[in-house]
């Protein structure tokens, strides 16, 4: 059996990846605790190892504070990943980092359910609390 090539260095600069800006709008209920839940069933990116497309459903939940996430800009933000070679664990954490930086929520969670490939289905979750 052939030994797989190394993954070393494939994702070394992922935290510095320049992604599109996520716009926000002023929350008129910053004094109230409530939850926004988004489901994105058509997320795609590229496997950095094989160059093949990966498909996933992204679930984003957050507790708004002073601003809320603007959906059109978030859609364009997610489309950016279509041509990016990135591991599942990394795109979940990168999306969480970028949402938190833009929205400054009370809390946020990103979950990705990645379609099966080779008989393996992957689910990755990351959370942030202020």
* Catalytic machinery residues: 47, 54
Q: Are 39 and 33 in contact (CB under 8 A)?
A: no
Distance between CA atoms of residues 27 and 13, nearest Å: 34
User: Nearest-CA neighbor of 86 among 56, 127, 42, 128?
Assistant: 56
Q: Are 101 and 74 in contact (CB under 8 A)?
A: no
* Residue 126 near residue 88 (C-beta atoms within 8 A): no
Indicate the burial class of 96 (C-beta count within 10 angstroms; 0-12, 13-18, 19 or more): buried
């Amino acid at each position: 059996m052939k030994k797989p090539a190394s993954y070393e260095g494939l994702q070394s600069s992922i935290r510095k990846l320049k992604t599109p800006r996520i716009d926000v709008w002023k929350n008129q209920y910053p004094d109230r605790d409530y939850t926004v839940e988004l489901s994105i069933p058509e997320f795609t990116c590229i496997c950095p190892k094989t160059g093949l497309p990966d498909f996933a459903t992204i679930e984003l939940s957050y507790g708004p504070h002073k601003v809320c996430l603007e959906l059109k800009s978030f859609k364009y933000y997610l489309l950016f990943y279509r041509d990016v070679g990135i591991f599942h664990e990394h795109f979940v954490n990168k999306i969480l980092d970028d949402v938190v930086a833009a929205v400054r929520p009370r809390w946020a969670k990103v979950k990705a359910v990645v379609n099966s490939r080779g008989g393996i289905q992957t689910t990755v979750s990351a959370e942030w609390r202020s």
